[in-house]
Amino acid sequence: MDNATYHVLGDQIVQTTTLKAGGGGLTDVYEIPYMIDTGPAAGHSGKVTLAASAFNPANVKAAIEAQVSAVSHVAGING
């Protein structure tokens, strides 16, 4: 399940401003949507949110792959 493929929905990436945790001011974040292409969660779409200061290819990939792995494992549960 860890080898599920996905793709980023690049035309839907948005940058927005939100409150910092605890209401300590504002911060810019990116919301990066993706869709899972293969495995038990194929067709599932989700998104990761990263602070603008952490928005780079390595961080985006790591965040998405962590979610894809979790969603694929859950979708593969059989009773």
One pLDDT digit (tens) per residue for the chain, 79 residues: 468 999 999 999 999 999 988 888 999 999 999 999 999 999 999 999 999 999 999 999 999 999 999 999 999 998 7
Range of the domain at 69: 6-75
Query: 37, 1 in Cβ contact below 8 A?
Result: no
Q: Residue 3: its pLDDT value, please?
A: 82
Q: Residue 69: its pLDDT value, please?
A: 96
User: Is residue 1, in this structure, part of any structural domain at all?
Assistant: no
Q: Whole-model pTM? A: 0.88
State the sign of the Cα–Cα–Cα–Cα dihedral 69, 71, 72, 74: positive
Q: Residue 18: its pLDDT value, please?
A: 93
Q: How many domains does the chain fold into?
A: 1
User: Is residue 54, in this structure, part of any structural domain at all?
Assistant: yes
